[in-house]
Amino acid sequence: MKYKISLFLLLIFVLNSCQNQDEKRLAENAKEAKKNEIIFNNINKAWKFIDEPINEVAEQKLSSWTEWRDFLKELGDKPRKTIGAFQKKSAAISKKAMALNNNIPAEFNVPQIKSRISILITKVKMMDLFINLSTIPDEKVTFLIGDINKELVSLERQMDQVVAKSKIPKEEGEEDFLRMLDTTRAIPSGNLAPILPQKIDKNLPKVE
């Protein structure tokens, strides 16, 4: 009889333990789901990229610079519903950003533009890294979204400056002056004519 009572009590204890573990697991799952919901809402709210050119120069390049057009299009296509959709979109944006190094128009293939592109790519890759972590630091992701927008504006303004500078007419004689500064056009030292010694007239009065 005592054995049966002990077995019954043990069974109750096991059932209570299992129930407590289930309740604990459900509570943890609910907490995690709430946390993920907050992360999703924060990223979803902040996910607003400048996907339209801010000036005429950047807009004109949409037709001739395929990589630029594709990148802006990717930015404008906002994901929906799940954090997984944002992760996939982030990877796609990163891929399009990397492609900006290809086929840069000749007028923009200058250090000022290339450095801006490099900074933009770095920001996009950082965002893609953070959003794909097991625990997503949503505050860093949202901060980088703002940073990416700033770099986009900076790049497009730099594009505008490059075009504006190319339209400024050079002053008369500036081309010749620039050629003189070009060391590659300098006359090699071996081709210089030797300086001949001058004859001194012995009848000239000497200065004491």
User: Does the structure show a pLDDT above 60 at 138?
Assistant: yes
User: Does the structure show a pLDDT above 90 at 154?
Assistant: yes
User: Does the structure show a pLDDT above 60 at 175?
Assistant: no
Distance linking the first and last C-alpha atoms of the chain: 142
The amino acid that residue 50 corresponds to is: I
User: Does the structure show a pLDDT above 90 at 48?
Assistant: yes
List the single range of 9-18, 42-51, 57-66 with lowest mean pLDDT. Answer: 9-18
Q: Nearest-CA neighbor of 56 among 164, 135, 203?
A: 164
Q: What are phi and psi of 162, to 5 degrees?
A: -65, -45
Q: How many CB atoms lie within 10 A of CB 194?
A: 5
pLDDT at 170: 57
Q: How many CB atoms lie within 10 A of CB 123?
A: 19
* CA pair distance 137, 198, nearest whole angstrom: 82
User: Does the structure show a pLDDT above 60 at 182?
Assistant: no
- Angle between helix 2-46 and helix 138-166 axes, rounded to 10 deg: 20
